[in-house]
Structure 1
């Protein structure tokens, strides 16, 4: 009985010594891990701020894109710090990195459509085929750009409706930007019957265009004979206007032409805007 008690006492003392050794060993690891977490957290925040400020100084670099890349830098640093902390406790970091890679691949496959929108959003923000406030048209959507995000682009249609377009639908498709260039050209055609003076009609067309202050004088309005038949000739008026005044100007000039030809045997046709 005494021998059994002695064995238990010896085993308890050995266990206590081993526990004390482990506590001493892991106490340093715990302190080191805490310090590493604190330093890593501060470093991640500083690197995020510095990268955002640096990218923001680049002329034309979009703020949304700068926030995305700076946030990515922060999370990459935090992941590396976490792996280093686990290494403090003897965990095999190689297996952790392999698991993270496999998890990232699985998430990428599951979010394939979302990642396509993110990639398209980055390309749209970098190449800038359109900006906020510009009126665009594609085979899928038409409207004024309200906001360009990493996942989708918000637009407002001409009749005041809200439209959300995934970025993947705006990338790799032809885009017509009606607001990118400061000026646009417009054409109106007039059919003049046989016997009418083409010279007088041309002068009238030019006077009507020049009388509207929104019609640009450089390049100057021009007229030319487009087609000729046995019974009539078609005259075309070509003029330029600023993009922001384009639709108002074309409607006003068309109305003026209609009023001027109300008492004449002439037909007015509007050509597609170019």
Structure 2
């Protein structure tokens, strides 16, 4: 099971619990059907007033007679027998439900002159007696439903009419897309219209039925469901909102050369879930829009002019300023190097055996490939520096001998002079620096062949 499904399970459990709470509400059973028999209200704990008797209140016989008359009027307590002695009332018999035991005792305690109540009433376990009250309630509910049938049908028609109106209004896709910045937001607004039509229809139907209590229960359950879904799908919702923000901001265009969160490539499309890149190796790379929205985006295509730089080393005894002048002149002579801003060079470090020089130049990426131009620039500067007689230093290694071998009689080797590069008359022709359009052609072909959504719109300004 995937992680997304595991995150959804708690939300579904909480949603089911909310629905069960709504159904189990005392008002839910009768709110949908006007006139349905309501649940019996709970007896108040503090007695509002003492219950009088027809004769002397202190008489046990009067107390027993009064309670028997009261129980006889209540069908669910008609089987309760009463005996009073010295102000102590003893209740016996059987009732259908356990809640009637408490009710009978509460009524007896409210009679004036009763000192204590001994409740010996038992709940019946007979199937017929247990089912009979349920069938009576069900019969009354069905009878009320039949009597309220026209009102229920009218409420259902209102719901259907509101839903149909909302679906009809949302079907005008062109209107919503013109009303919003891009098609993605337009489709989202159309879905919102559909959802609102359902909510309005249900609210109107419940108001017509007078089910205000049920409406509060449903709204409370909906709030609980919304909180549960929000927690369970937090990452998904954040990614979806990031897609909306990116579609509005438009930080790049298709075929732009970008670096997003350290991933380099050219933009293929922006979907409602991810930004699709094609790497310079020709591979597809999908980055979740939540990462794209929070990441630092480097766009090489936005400004076609780009600076290239590289380093060369010359011998420590050479003149670095003269070497810089030679290298800069070689870069200036290249056709693809821009004259404004002009190429330049600086001294980076001075070591024991070499001096490191850094050369910088600008190119126009619309007609020049960056990597090819940098490679050609390095080649031209190297050849020019060597041709001018400057030495590119070789690595120097220092060796330590703890014991010297016997060198008596061996002829001493003459000292070796530093190697000087042979001057060249002219550099060899450089390779072409025209950009390779293979990736662009691949992206264009894929965009034409694939019907997948694209939130990048040329009509929207780039941020």
Common topology (TM > 0.5): yes
| Residue in 2 that maps onto 1:249 | 373
Q: Is the 8 A contact 1:44 1:77 kept in 2?
A: no
The match for 1:76 among 186, 192, 195 is: 195
Count of aligned positions: 245
Separation in structure 2 between the aligned mates of residue 86 and residue 140 of structure 1, nearest angstrom? 55
Deviation at 1:174, TM superposition (A): 3.4
Separation in structure 1 between the aligned mates of residue 317 and residue 180 of structure 2, nearest angstrom? 68
Q: RMSD over aligned Cα, in angstroms?
A: 3.5
Bigger CA radius of gyration: 2
Q: 1:34 to 1:197 in 2, by over 3 A?
A: closer
| Residue in 2 that maps onto 1:150 | 272
Separation in structure 2 between the aligned mates of residue 224 and residue 152 of structure 1, nearest angstrom? 43
Q: 1:248 to 1:139 in 2, by over 3 A?
A: same
Deviation at 1:53, TM superposition (A): 1.0
Separation in structure 2 between the aligned mates of residue 226 and residue 50 of structure 1, nearest angstrom? 61
Query: By percentage of residues, which structure has more strand?
Result: 1
Map residues 121-270 of structure 1 onto 2, 5 A cutoff. 121-139=243-261, 141-194=263-316, 196=318, 198=320, 200-228=322-350, 232-244=354-366, 245-261=369-385, 264-266=390-392
Q: Is the 8 A contact 2:323 2:385 kept in 1?
A: no
| Residue in 1 that maps onto 2:161 | 35
SS of residue matched to 1:249: helix
Deviations 1:84-120 (A, max 9, x none): 4643662543333332222222222221221222233
**Is residue 109 from structure 1 mapped to residue 248 from structure 2 by the alignment?**
no
Q: 1:190 to 1:86 in 2, by over 3 A?
A: same
Gaps of 5+ in 1: 1-17, 57-61, 269-274
| Residue in 2 that maps onto 1:59 | none
Separation in structure 2 between the aligned mates of residue 72 and residue 41 of structure 1, nearest angstrom? 9
Q: Is the 8 A contact 2:353 2:393 kept in 1?
A: no
Separation in structure 1 between the aligned mates of residue 261 and residue 149 of structure 2, nearest angstrom? 68
Q: Is the 8 A contact 1:182 1:243 kept in 2?
A: yes
Deviation at 1:139, TM superposition (A): 4.7
Separation in structure 1 between the aligned mates of residue 186 and residue 256 of structure 2, nearest angstrom? 23
TM-score under structure 1 normalisation?
0.71
Q: Is the 8 A contact 1:86 1:93 kept in 2?
A: no
Separation in structure 2 between the aligned mates of residue 75 and residue 259 of structure 1, nearest angstrom? 71
Separation in structure 2 between the aligned mates of residue 267 and residue 125 of structure 1, nearest angstrom? 54
TM-score under structure 2 normalisation?
0.45
Gaps of 5+ in 2: 1-143, 395-463
Q: Is the 8 A contact 2:314 2:355 kept in 1?
A: yes
Query: By percentage of residues, which structure has more helix?
Result: 1
Q: 1:20 to 1:74 in 2, by over 3 A?
A: closer
Deviation at 1:78, TM superposition (A): 3.0
Q: Is the 8 A contact 1:121 1:149 kept in 2?
A: yes
Separation in structure 1 between the aligned mates of residue 202 and residue 154 of structure 2, nearest angstrom? 17
Q: Is the 8 A contact 1:192 1:266 kept in 2?
A: yes
Q: Is the 8 A contact 1:206 1:223 kept in 2?
A: yes
SS of residue matched to 1:120: helix
Deviations 1:138-186 (A, max 9, x none): 5553322222223222122221111222223334343433333332222
Deviation at 1:30, TM superposition (A): 4.6
Separation in structure 2 between the aligned mates of residue 28 and residue 231 of structure 1, nearest angstrom? 97
Separation in structure 2 between the aligned mates of residue 63 and residue 31 of structure 1, nearest angstrom? 33
Separation in structure 1 between the aligned mates of residue 168 and residue 371 of structure 2, nearest angstrom? 55
